[in-house]
Structure 1
């Protein structure tokens, strides 16, 4: 592992929170246990037009549906975007994803990334956790990172700073929505190392 993080080498840059794009849809993955008021926000802001669904609504995590993260389609017609951005700055409670995929397609994209292997055992993988995203993306090999992010155009999150990963344009590969990663002890150790380096870098920016 290098002594410094070269964010531009992995298409990550410091940024501000996502504006709503005219060409792509903007989504948020949020932890309702960390944003207790999220359902009130959703029903307050034109509930008939806001799409959202729990990622724990199917298969392995159905028994924990009430505790699971929500996928929400965010528009510029309400205050939800700014509310989420402000909350993300105070608490590590979610992530923005920009994509050309429809809501149902991005839901499928998320569900295929919700489980990983750890020493061969299946485990819940909170890939959207903002404190995890930088070490996760930085520790992936280029092909792994491309496979993981394919289907998105930008992933934006706040951890000490607003960060954004921009996906290089590429044709959608067959089975591009599918992804499951086997985390070795070495990979997990590398992620911890990256986390420490980012803490030191972010401190230098203060």
Structure 2
């Protein structure tokens, strides 16, 4: 799949939206926000707030304080607004608009949490806001319709923008969640979609240098995917590759000097990037 298709799929399945005004529930990752329970207990001094650990009844129960919790926001409007604000400052979870009761939603959430391995030794962190959009992209229609029922909506802040689950194409039924399985093959596609989401933020950051491109987000993702093909995996390395492309042009890696550096497999990724960053600006690319 090319970069444009990754971007279009992402924006179709998990469209960008505005900050939500309300939500029924939230799933919060305590590992991402160790202070959240203190924050919640403080909120309970003002209004009743119920919560449940998704690890309850599993082999992970003893580690509940490092796992996801379901928080009922239906009777806690003021606290819910504080949660929304907190989500914009850190990647800590997902908001859920649902008519289900808390016990039913908790059961469904636990099923999804452990849907990769019946032994419950592996977790699907579907509530991770930097992963959720990519996960929705690699799911098939039936899986998405099981995760998000027709009258439900997931809303999250991915560190850059607010996104939400696209409305279901079906309606008027309760999707069954028995025997849910997310395959390893699907999970292998998640990183590309995560890069697609990251590309938007980098396109915004470098917008002055990208003003001449028809679709800066697609151009940035093309550079990221290109860098990964050369063995660069860390986001910091991908950004360094992006800056090289901004300085030298799209095809800089085809120029003789850069090509020679990239072919030196005994050098680490950081060493190759450092060597290329030390090269003089090229006026025209001469391919090998």
TM-score bucket (shorter structure): 0.7 to 0.9
The aligned length equals 198
SS in 1 for 2:40: helix
Aligned residue among 5, 20, 42 for 1:18: 20
Cα distance in 2, alignment partners of residues 66 and 198 from structure 1 = 29
- For residues 104-160 of structure 1, the C-alpha deviation after alignment (integer angstroms, 9 at most, x for no partner) is 111011011111327x99511111001110110011122222222226611011112
Q: What's 1:165 paired with?
A: 165
SS at match of 1:150: coil
**2:52/2:71 contact within 8 Å kept:** yes
Q: Alpha-carbon deviations, 1:152-176, whole Å to 9, x = none?
A: 61101111211011332523346x2
- The unaligned stretches of length 5 or more in structure 1 are none
Counterpart CA distance in 1 for 2:199 and 2:42 is 40
Post-superposition offset of 1:78: 4.7
Deviates more, 1:109-118 or 1:35-44: 35-44
- The 1-side partners of 2:32 and 2:187 are apart by 25
Q: For the residues of structure 1 that align with 2:16 and 2:179, how far apart are their CA atoms? A: 26
1:70 corresponds to = 69
For 2:167 and 2:179, the matched residues in 1 are separated by 16
Q: Match for residue 129 of structure 1? A: 128
For 2:157, what is the secondary structure of its paired residue? strand
Q: Secondary structure at the match of 1:45?
A: helix
Change (3 A) 1:182 1:121: farther
TM-score computed with the length of structure 1 as normaliser: 0.82
Shift in Å at residue 17 of structure 1? 2.8
Given that 2:30 and 2:66 are in contact with CA atoms closer than 8 Å, whether structure 1 keeps it comes out as yes
Between structure 1 and structure 2, the one with the greater Rg is: 2
Asked if 1:27 corresponds to 2:25, the answer is yes
Structure 1 residues 56 and 152: alpha-carbon distance in aligned structure 2, compared to 1, 3 A threshold: farther
- Taking a change above 3 Å as real, the CA distance of residues 46 and 189 of structure 1, as seen in their structure-2 partners, is closer
Q: Secondary structure at the match of 1:40?
A: helix
Question: For residues 14 and 106 of structure 1, what CA distance do their matches in structure 2 show?
Answer: 25
- Structure that is richer in strand per residue: 1
2:182 pairs with 1:182 = yes
Pair 1:49 & 2:51 matched: no
Alignment match of 1:37 (pick from 13, 35, 38):
35
Mapped to 2, the partners of 1:53 and 1:113 lie a distance apart of 15
Query: For the residues of structure 2 that align with 1:204 and 1:104, how far apart are their CA atoms?
Result: 42
Distance 1:142 1:16, change over 3 A: same
Give the drift of 1:178: 3.5
